[in-house]
Each structure stands twice: as structure tokens, then as C-alpha cells.
Structure 1
Amino acid sequence: MDNLDYGIIDLLRQNARAGYGDIGQKVGLSASAVKRRVDRLVADGVIQSFTIQVDPAVDGLGTEAYVELFCRGTVAPAELRRILSAVPEVVDAATVSGDADAIVRIRSRDIASLEDALEKVRIAPTVDHTRSAIVMSRLVHREVD
């Protein structure tokens, strides 16, 4: 990959529907050269998919919280994955360093459904307690996956 490939990827991240001609004008290539590069990036597995992002509120998931998860004793990441995967409102989770064992991001319809989702997490025998922070407004959001 070179700087042109990185430039093409950055532009596609901003707008996956951007035309090859528009991208080419910004990176200094012809539309056909951009298409060849995109095709190669897809074939090489660098670009794994083209997708859309929908405002979660449209799907009725306007309430968001970050939850610190504290466990009893030592709990394997696979066990945490099993517990958290069973809760559909959990949209992201990771083990972390520090006092908490994991950080969990939850999206729900409202506060009542957030509370229900938290209870599903808390009833696991390995979970000692949680500490939640409800998102008031999103300041910066970048997809990096």
C-alpha cells in the first residue's frame, strides 16, 4: 500500500458511495486507476466491506451508556464474551486494564430498557457490580474497524 491507497481508503471511509472520478480528482488519479486500486484493495482483503451507518435513534436505540464491569475473582475473557453476547443491547465490549475488568457500551430504547439490559449483565454469577455513565451527547465518533 502506498499514500494513494491510504488516500482512497480515507475518502471511502468518509463516503463509501463516492464515485471513482470524484476520488480520482482528490488523489490525482483517473477514475479507472482508482477503480483498479479499489478492486485490488478488495481482492487483497484490505477493504472488507462497503456499508452504511444509520443513526441508532432511527432504530429506536437513542439511549447509550458506557458501563464498567467489575467481576468476582478472575474471569476469562471467553466467559465475559459469553455473558455479554447474550445481552442484545450490548453493542461493544472490551477487557481493559485498571480497576474495571471490562468496558461495555450499551444501546437501548430508553432508561427503563437500559436498566433491564444492565440487570441481565448483573445477574451473571461472576459479575460483582457495574458502574454506568449515560451518554448525554456524542462529541466525536470515528469508525476505525
Structure 2
Amino acid sequence: MALTEIDSVDRRILDLLIEDGRRSVKEVADIVGLSPSPVRRRIERLEDRGIITGYTAVVDESGLSPTFEAFAELRFAGDTKVSDITASVKGIPEVTAVYTVAGDPDAIVHFRLDDLSHLHQVIDRIRRGGHVIGTKTLMVLDSWQRGRD
């Protein structure tokens, strides 16, 4: 996707929708100082250009079941393709995100798990996949995300 030029009003609209995707067009318009029609057109343009790709609910998983989060740093052999790094873990249901990164490690994987035993099982599964040459696991103690206060 080619980079798309956006102005400061578009950026403010994006920030407001990131903070609360259920904001009405009127509420966004009031905050940015425009009428609803141009704000609606700007949002539609951002959607059409693929900058806004969807809207989602933010769920506090701790209210659903006794889960915890963890990350694993993964290291691969030097000749492993980036697409193979992602493919090696994206089929694992406990994986919520995979970030391939430059440097060491090669990837950072985010998990949502039931307990420590479950974490062991998932890490063992990744290690048995054949491509991973090293792991480092980190358990999340607490978290904060912008717009989710």
C-alpha cells in the first residue's frame, strides 16, 4: 500500500476513533471543529484508502476466564524467510499477534493462555516446529494501552 497523505484534522479524527471507535460523527465533528458532513466524508475517504481497516470491541479477557498473557522472543536460522517466521506460529490458537522484527530476536509473539502449564505446552509446540532455534518467554504482569484507560 502506498503512503497516503493526511492532514492534522484527519490525524485528529483517527486519534479520536482509536480512542473510542463508537464515537458518533457528530461528536467527532464537534471536537475537530467541523460540521458532520465533511467529517463523514473524511472518515469514508480514510476507510476507502485502507487507513481505517475496521472497528473492534476491546475486551477485558480477565473478566471471561482465568487467563494470562505472555510474550515469546523467537530466534530462527539466518536463512529463514520472514513469511515462514509468521507461518510457523499463526496457526496456534493461543497466538494473538506475531511481530517480525529486525535484529535479535527475529519475532515477538503474543499469547493468551490459561495457566503456566498451558504456556509450557505452547512453547514446546513452537520449539518442535523445526524452524525455531531459540526462545525467551516473558509473562505479562500488567498492561496499559493508549485509548484504553
- Report how far residue 115 of structure 1 moved: 1.4
Number of equivalent positions: 142
The residue number in structure 2 matching 1:86 is: 91
Q: Aligned in 2, Cα 1:73/1:22: closer, same or farther, shift over 3 Å?
A: closer
- Report how far residue 94 of structure 1 moved: 2.5
Aligned-residue CA RMSD (Å):
2.2
Equivalent runs, 1:1-145 vs 2, <5 Å: 1-60=6-65, 62-72=67-77, 74-138=79-143, 140-142=144-146
- Report how far residue 131 of structure 1 moved: 1.2
C-alpha contact 1:63 1:114 (8 A) present in aligned 2:
no
C-alpha contact 2:86 2:100 (8 A) present in aligned 1:
no
The TM-score normalised by the length of structure 1 is: 0.83
Structure 1, 107-116 or 31-40: larger mean CA deviation: 31-40
C-alpha contact 1:61 1:107 (8 A) present in aligned 2:
no
Unaligned runs of 5+ in 1: none
Q: Aligned in 2, Cα 1:57/1:73: closer, same or farther, shift over 3 Å?
A: same
Unaligned runs of 5+ in 2: 1-5
- Report how far residue 108 of structure 1 moved: 1.0
C-alpha contact 2:75 2:132 (8 A) present in aligned 1:
yes
- Report how far residue 29 of structure 1 moved: 0.9
Q: Aligned in 2, Cα 1:83/1:43: closer, same or farther, shift over 3 Å?
A: closer
- Report how far residue 54 of structure 1 moved: 1.3
Q: Aligned in 2, Cα 1:61/1:106: closer, same or farther, shift over 3 Å?
A: farther
Amino acid at match of 2:8: N
Q: Aligned in 2, Cα 1:102/1:42: closer, same or farther, shift over 3 Å?
A: closer
- Report how far residue 9 of structure 1 moved: 1.3
- Report how far residue 112 of structure 1 moved: 1.6
